[in-house]
Amino acid sequence: MAKLEVVQILTKKDSGRIWNVSWHPKGDVLASCGEDKCIRIWAKDLLGKWTNKIVLTDGHKRTIRQVAWSPCGNYLASAGFDATTCIWSKQDGEFECNATLEGHENEVKSVAWSKSGQYLGTCSRDKSVWIWEVAEENEYDCAAVLNAHTQDVKKIIWHPKKDILASASYDNTIKFFREDVSDGDWVCCGTLVGHDSTVWSISFDGDGSRLASCSDDCTIKIWKEYVPGNPEGVATVDNDSTWKCVCTLSGQHSRTIYDINWCPITGLLATACADDSVRIFKEDVGSDLSAPTFNLICNVEKAHNEDVNCVSWNPTAKGLLATCSDDGEIKIWNFIDN
């Protein structure tokens, strides 16, 4: 039987709800954030225990919803309910906030760096998605303000290989954005309709040809890319790929699913649910790409004492998973597949 074993529980008294955890691209450092307006940086001490090394304060005046490391690992971006995004960089061993991105009308819900490191995306309750171009040192130029969603935008992620941004919203849809090569404008190049309520989170698989989404409708959906001229004959428009829902996993979650993460190393899907559970799904070997099947292989009930807000696979250590919760705890787990 597959199982998740707790490696360590990380807590700080009175930190309140923890919204998000993010692994450094090297996998040896973890950043966390939440309603206490602080960012905590965790790393292993000499005895191999995860320890809180640094606390970053003074960046935000309100809750910090999400943190994200740049692909090079030198920068950390934080999205705040105070409508700002802060960029932190490490200089002389200390983190400093060197840029504050302003422009959103209200809460910034998510922030993400493109794989190329050239772009940063942010999204907000003001329904917009902003693309920032990384210019010189600590300079960020707004390249686009995208108003395609009709409601609160919950989460954005970049494609693992291309400069394509995906966004998930309270309007129940997922959208894709890319730069139009002819005029340099950013455009919406796809809308995925299928969820019946808020889409809280999305995650690409390792090569970016599939996307997993999770929702307040208590389902997970797997979307597959059909490139122009695909052998299956799925119609495409304007040389853009068409994304189709090829699998819906329902009946496995009893409450809102707040986060989903697709491990690029193992291909396992992990979910964070408001029923306090963490679940792991595995794709059947040899399952049909156009109608794949996934099985629940591990269900940790009471993984936390309250809602689980985030699940994140370590990018380098196989099977290492970090989760965080409304109960104020971060847990590091080891996935064992027997």
Partner 1 sequence: MPFGTQLENQNPTLYSKSADRLVTQEEYNDDIADDFDEREIFDLIRNINDPEHPLTLEELHVVRQNLISVENDKNNVFINFTPTIPHCSMATLIGLSIRVKLLRCLPPRFKVKVEVTPGTHNAEHQVNKQLADKERVAAALENSHLIKVINQCIAPRNRA
Contact residues toward partner 1 (CB under 8 A) are 17, 35, 62-63, 65, 81, 106-107, 109, 125, 152, 154, 170, 197-198, 216, 255-256, 274, 305-307, 326-327
Least distance (Å) between residue 300 CB and partner 1? 17
Least distance (Å) between residue 258 CB and partner 1? 9
Least distance (Å) between residue 306 CB and partner 1? 6
Residues 55, 186: Cα–Cα separation, whole Å: 36
Least distance (Å) between residue 122 CB and partner 1? 16
Q: How many CB atoms lie within 10 A of CB 51?
A: 13
Q: Which of the 8 DSSP states describes residue 240?
A: B
Residues 164, 157: Cα–Cα separation, whole Å: 9
| DSSP string covering 79-90 | EETTS-EEEEEE
Least distance (Å) between residue 171 CB and partner 1? 11
Task: Judge contact between 76 and 69, C-beta under 8 A.
Answer: yes
CA-nearest of 207, 155, 186, 168 to 22 is: 155
Residues 212, 214: Cα–Cα separation, whole Å: 7
**Closer by beta carbon to partner 1, 83 or else 134:** 83
CA-nearest of 265, 327, 251, 278 to 3 is: 278
**Closer by beta carbon to partner 1, 11 or else 106:** 106
**Closer by beta carbon to partner 1, 20 or else 114:** 20
**Closer by beta carbon to partner 1, 65 or else 221:** 65
Q: Which of the 8 DSSP states describes residue 237?
A: B
Of the chain, the end-to-end C-alpha distance in Å amounts to 6
CA-nearest of 21, 16, 3 to 331 is: 21
Angle, CA of 302, 304 and 307, to the nearest 5°: 100
The burial of 18, by beta-carbon neighbours within 10 Å (0-12 exposed, 13-18 middle, 19 or more buried), is given as buried
Least distance (Å) between residue 200 CB and partner 1? 9
Least distance (Å) between residue 35 CB and partner 1? 7
**Closer by beta carbon to partner 1, 126 or else 205:** 126
Least distance (Å) between residue 242 CB and partner 1? 29
Task: Judge contact between 169 and 130, C-beta under 8 A.
Answer: no
**Closer by beta carbon to partner 1, 33 or else 222:** 33
Residues 184, 111: Cα–Cα separation, whole Å: 22
* Size of the chain in residues: 338
